[in-house]
Structure 1
Amino acid sequence: MDILQEFIKTTGFWSLGPGNVVMIVIGIVFIALAITKDYEPLLLVPIGMGAIVGNIPLIEGMSLSVYDMHRWVIEDGQVNYQPGSVLSYLYFGVSWGIYPPLVFLGIGAMTDFSTMLSNPKLVLLGAAAQVGVFLTFLGAIWLGFDLKQSGAIGIIGGADGPTAIFLSSKLAPELLGAIAIAAYSYMALVPVIQPPIMRLLTTHDERLIRMKPPRKVSRREKMIFPVAAFLICTLVAPGAMVLLGMLFFGNLLKESMVTERLANTARTAMIDIVTVLLGFSVGASTEASTFLTRQSLLIFGLGALAFAIATAGGVLFAKFMNLFLKEKINPLIGAAGVSAVPDSARVVQMVGQQEDPHNFLLMHAMAPNVAGVIGSAIAAGVLWAVLT
């Protein structure tokens, strides 16, 4: 019986707490939403499984958690290296901001900036949507978070998971898990959160507005753009150099037409591998004792507010632009100013076709959508520079 009791104490059932159960259920819900509702399955399945793995209770003395980082210790006057767990090494790419730039490389290799170049004024919608970042930053300060934590929380409003992870790793690593989960959760819930806000802020006639097809963009423009845009953006916000450098590098690989093999690797195998590692290790960091806290709940609330404000900001700014434009733009495309690519653009298309099945807004919505990616990276660079 003594042997049996000792064995029971080494099982996960012995120290399984209510918090662990809650997080395991949340992980299962993420997986179910990904499979049944098709909500960002490439993100929610790895994160959900990671949350389940990360909430299995640990045995004392066994190095298993993402928080069992490697470290140097001095023993008998000698410096000895004590390795951490496998999960801690996978999480290293999150905690040091290595994975996000690699994701941006893949995004750049997949992105066509033609619609944005054909109608440059739509870039303003991507900038307007970043109002969610800065208003949430102020809201976080009001709720008692310090400046660096508030900056990391505010970037959730950009609806860009990699950018949120990158900035959190620099400003508030203690909040990294909660911020990453919040950012990716709201990215997955774009089809749920955005449509009611879009309908509330637009009239039936506005949703029926049809826009002219975008003009054809030359190959020369496409090749010049990544270099020119990188120089302009990073001279304004040097803190965005790594993210934007990888984004525009990936796009240059695609548009140059002489590095197709590299571009294909970046937008397929590389981004898939990094997405698996990023999602799983972020999910595994949600151990109940460190995740289920008052701070985490506030972050989730602020994240939802940030996303709603960003969506509203883009739509309202589109309506404001229409006051001065002869050729009106459909205000729905302003909602795509958040950088959840391409889901926000798809939502714009869906809402627009509910009003008029023959109105095709997807290509127009991609312009503020990709501008939002750039805008959120610039916002992160500005916050990092100002708050460091």
Structure 2
Amino acid sequence: MEFLIEGFQNVTWQQVVMYGIGILLIWLAIKKEYEPALLLPMGFGAILVNLPLSGVIDQVLEGVGNTPGIIQWLFHVGIEASEVFPILLFIGIGAMIDFGPLLSNPIMFLFGAGAQFGIFAAIALACVFGFDLKDAASIGIIGAADGPTSILVSQMLQSRYVGAIAVAAYSYMALVPIVQPFAIRLVTTKKERRIHMEYNPGSVSKPMRIAFPIVVTIIVGFVAPQSVALVGFLMFGNLIRECGVLQTLSDTAQNNLANLITLLLGITISFSMKADQFVRVDTLMIMAIGLFAFVMDTIGGVLLAKFLNLFRKKKINPMVGGAGISAFPMSSRVIQKMAMEEDPTNIILMHAAGANVSGQIASVIAGGMVINLVTQFL
């Protein structure tokens, strides 16, 4: 009879806290529809890995020895040993992205770069709060607004806070509709938010669309070789989309592959959400620094747009600069919604989309550069 209550006897208050966090993530996924494909598996996984003597993680049982658990095995195979889950997910993301708005308006490349300011501001802040350089760099990558990049960088730098970083990255990605409007309104006026931008896309030829992912991969391979895995698979997915002869594979990458990997990645990352590793003051600091990174990313892109306007006759709506974060396509939709709230006739979606896909590339490159810099410095 005693074995029936053994689980209750072994539960800790930290595990109870994690049950609450798991339920909160599930609620955000279902009730608020914030990235449900990610938050729901993460929330349920947080509950699974914190059940006492849970069979989903490795444990040593008397008389039996080591018993492998499915979530720990998936974490080792899919993330810890090879980073295969986040890398494969980028094939699907690449197949979803249309780089046409960016190629027809190349100035949007600047906003992808400008909106990475939050990464380096967050790294500096994390160092001030006493995190070592590897952990600080991993925390700063939350500002990339890209979950797979955050996971990959924190794993490659062997951070102690992979779980907290992943939760922060995906949570703030899901909260873009709340975080970005707040940040943008801090540094813009109503008049600036009402600026209209004409969209006259130049013709983007099929050869250019095909050449773009190939050229980007080669350039990144020389500039930031540590990011080649992510950028290469992102561009490979886009090449499948644009080549015109692999429509079935493109559809599979966008739907079946992306959905399957997202599902596995969400529940697997919960292995790093075990109570003894997660319920700590450090985790709260990471969440706070991650929020700071997201806000500074947005502000960095907006301020860059305002700076460029000093030299332009045709003004850029500064909100477009905020779309340079990597949260694709959420950020561009948020920017368009804000524009229409100020003026229902103001359509800047395609400009924002150009900045948004630029941010997708820039965030991955920034992740690779951070890995290079940290490993060389240490």
- Per the normalisation by structure 1, the TM-score is 0.91
* Residues 115 and 359, structure 2, Cα contact 8 Å, conserved in 1: yes
C-alpha offsets along residues 263-284 of structure 1, whole Å, 9 cap, x if unaligned?
1111111111100000011124
C-alpha offsets along residues 231-287 of structure 1, whole Å, 9 cap, x if unaligned?
122211111100000000000000000111221111111111100000011124311
Query: Which one of 84, 100, 103 corresponds to residue 117 of structure 1?
Result: 103
Structure 1 segment 78-227 matched on structure 2, within 5 A:
84-92=68-76, 93-96=78-81, 97-213=83-199, 214-227=201-214
* Displacement of 1:376: 1.0
* Residues 227 and 368, structure 2, Cα contact 8 Å, conserved in 1: yes
Classify 1:140/1:68 alpha carbon distance in 2 versus 1 (closer, same or farther; 3 Å).
farther
Cα distance in structure 2, aligned partners of 1:265 and 1:14:
47
* Residues 104 and 247, structure 1, Cα contact 8 Å, conserved in 2: yes
Gaps of 5+ in 1: 70-80
The alignment covers a number of residue pairs equal to 368
* Residues 134 and 159, structure 2, Cα contact 8 Å, conserved in 1: no
Q: Over aligned residue pairs, what C-alpha RMSD do you find?
A: 1.6
Which residue in 1 is equivalent to 2:270? 283
Query: Which one of 50, 54, 73 corresponds to residue 55 of structure 1?
Result: 50
Cα distance in structure 1, aligned partners of 2:323 and 2:59:
40
* Residues 299 and 322, structure 2, Cα contact 8 Å, conserved in 1: yes
Q: What is the one-letter code of the residue matched to 1:184?
A: Y
Cα distance in structure 2, aligned partners of 1:98 and 1:285:
17
Which shifted more, 194-203 or 237-246? 194-203
* Displacement of 1:68: 5.6
Q: What is the one-letter code of the residue matched to 2:18?
A: M
Structure 1 segment 304-323 matched on structure 2, within 5 A:
304-323=291-310
Classify 1:83/1:15 alpha carbon distance in 2 versus 1 (closer, same or farther; 3 Å).
closer
C-alpha offsets along residues 182-202 of structure 1, whole Å, 9 cap, x if unaligned?
100110110111101112211
Which shifted more, 354-363 or 241-250? 354-363
Q: What is the one-letter code of the residue matched to 1:31?
A: I
C-alpha offsets along residues 291-346 of structure 1, whole Å, 9 cap, x if unaligned?
11122121111101111110110111111111112221111111111101111111
**Identical counterparts, % of pairs:** 46
* Displacement of 1:152: 0.7
Cα distance in structure 2, aligned partners of 1:326 and 1:299:
42
The structure having more radius of gyration, on CA atoms, is 1
Kindly indicate whether residue 53 of structure 2 is the aligned counterpart of residue 64 of structure 1. Answer: no
- Per the normalisation by structure 2, the TM-score is 0.94
Instruction: Tell me the secondary structure at the aligned position of residue 310 of structure 1.
Output: helix
Which residue in 1 is equivalent to 2:9? 14
Runs of 4+ in 1 over 2 A off after TM superposition: 4-7, 81-84
Instruction: Tell me the secondary structure at the aligned position of residue 165 of structure 1.
Output: helix
Cα distance in structure 1, aligned partners of 2:170 and 2:50:
19
Query: Which one of 19, 31, 53 corresponds to residue 24 of structure 1?
Result: 19
* Residues 53 and 59, structure 2, Cα contact 8 Å, conserved in 1: no
Instruction: Tell me the secondary structure at the aligned position of residue 107 of structure 2.
Output: helix
Cα distance in structure 1, aligned partners of 2:108 and 2:123:
25
Cα distance in structure 1, aligned partners of 2:14 and 2:228:
39
Cα distance in structure 1, aligned partners of 2:312 and 2:220:
26
* Displacement of 1:146: 1.2
Which residue in 2 is equivalent to 1:294? 281
Q: What is the one-letter code of the residue matched to 1:88?
A: Q
* Residues 47 and 284, structure 1, Cα contact 8 Å, conserved in 2: no
Cα distance in structure 2, aligned partners of 1:297 and 1:208:
37
* Residues 138 and 159, structure 2, Cα contact 8 Å, conserved in 1: no
* Displacement of 1:94: 2.2
Which residue in 2 is equivalent to 1:234? 221
Gaps of 5+ in 2: none
